[in-house]
Structure 1
């Protein structure tokens, strides 16, 4: 892939994500029309749909041969990563968007022939853009993020983990996860997978573990983590399939093996 083409795509994606975020800030206090999807806590609003339509329109007008995999269904039926594929979550953290009016993000991961090229995560209300271009590092706004600290012990680490995964009815051995929670310095949960990836990449958290994420939840975060020296796999250490829902574990390489070997056991 030519560098100039990748840069042009990045510039368009960055401009569009900033424009979409500004619009969300402008309408944040307007009435919302809220529906549910898979369950009563799986929320969607007209702004999720309108934001996704905004991206779909601009991408199709500018890059008609590019395909879109997106949460709200305005993209394409994507079954392979051939060519260019944009993986988009128009509002990641819709529950936060509805209830708190903050702590939500727009997430875009752009792949070419199966290889991640561009990652963008926009913390809308704080006007903070996390971004990466393959081989060029990751950035928080215009400041380059350093490589992840590889000297941390588990006892010094903060793990991003939803407390649900420590319950008996989760998909993981709750006893081992409870042991992990006691071992680390602390745990956090922010309600937006994209922001949780961004916080680990930034170094204000040290690992992110989830038992259920869709491609649009993690497509951008994986690419940004790659650029700071992180590793992202399924929870048990197996490779992820970017087109399908997956368990996810993302952190620095030193902590990764220790946690997957000793604390992560998926139930059959």
Structure 2
């Protein structure tokens, strides 16, 4: 536990330092590049933040490994030992176009088990965190676990591909069974909406390990579910079609997906 508490203190400090760098960046000083498509962007700040976080992790925990979005991590073939999942700016498109609804995320796993998760809403200055077995917190104040609602009792969150691309049209029947659909454009902040009880599920057609890791720790901490669309376990070495959900809604979503 002493190692976990040491990490907890440092992670909270490092995330706040990263946020200060992000906030100080002017829009006109950003260098924006396309990755796989015109709506898949990376900025010089994404790269700078991940490089800085990776450097700090390696300095304090040289035996640990890192899985990062922008190439400063390790080439992981397994999840042995301690692995850090780093997403320097989750919601880069929002960061570039809106200057809000983006987050810094860190997840720490030991032997493949999530032990710590952190999602920092930079603009709202809210740091959400969880240590396995100790509950979920916002700015070090414990949060109440959300209610376990069914699909018909609440809103679902999703990514734009599920709603716009015809190859995902079958999944829209899940939206029809809910009370409505909402989108923020940040996997981490969508998970926070679930933890706050504002939605009963978040579904995304393709999330990378760094998009999932921190939120998975938090969602499982309140007894909710995280899986692939077919109900199988998340693979933190690959991309996943991902569901974060209340227990009741999860069973309904998986049943609809299987038809």
Normalised TM-score (structure 2): 0.95
Alpha-carbon shift at residue 15 of structure 1 (Å): 0.8
Q: Residue 229 of structure 2: SS of its match in structure 1?
A: coil
In structure 2, the partner of 1:75 is: 73
Hey, what does 2:115 align to over in structure 1?
Answer: 117
Query: Does residue 211 in structure 1 map to residue 205 in structure 2?
Result: yes
- Post-superposition offset of 1:28: 4.1
Shift of 1:201: 1.4
Question: Given the alignment of the two structures, is residue 251 of structure 1 paired with residue 245 of structure 2, yes or no?
Answer: yes
Structure 1 alignment gaps of length 5 or more = none
Give me the whole-angstrom Cα distance separating, in 2, the residues matched to 1:42 and 1:6: 34
For 2:40, the equivalent position in structure 1 comes to 42
Superposition pairs of residues 19-58 of structure 1, within 5 angstroms: 19-58=17-56
Secondary structure at the residue paired with 2:37? coil
Q: Which residue number corresponds to residue 159 of structure 1?
A: 156
What is the CA-CA distance between 1:224 and the residue it aligns to?
0.7
Superposition pairs for residues 81-96 of structure 1, below 5 Å? 81-96=79-94
1:191-202 paired onto structure 2 within 5 Å: 191-202=185-196
Do the aligned residues in 2 keep the contact of 1:145 with 1:228 (CA within 8 Å)?
no
Say whether the 8 Å CA contact 2:27–2:96 is kept in structure 1.
no
How far residue 183 of structure 1 moved from its aligned partner, in angstroms, is 2.1
- Partner of 2:231, secondary structure, is coil
Moved more, 113-122 or 26-35: 26-35
Displacement of 1:265 in angstroms is 4.7
Shift, 1:29, TM fit: 3.9
Q: Is the 8 A contact 1:109 1:220 kept in 2?
A: yes
- C-alpha distance after superposition, 1:172-197 (max 9, x if no partner): 4x24x333222211111101111111
Give the root-mean-square deviation of aligned CA atoms.
Answer: 1.5
In structure 2, list runs of 5 or more residues that go unmatched: none
Query: How far apart, CA to CA, are the structure 1 residues paired with 2:187 and 2:230?
Result: 18
Q: Distance in 2 between matches of 1:107 and 1:6?
A: 17
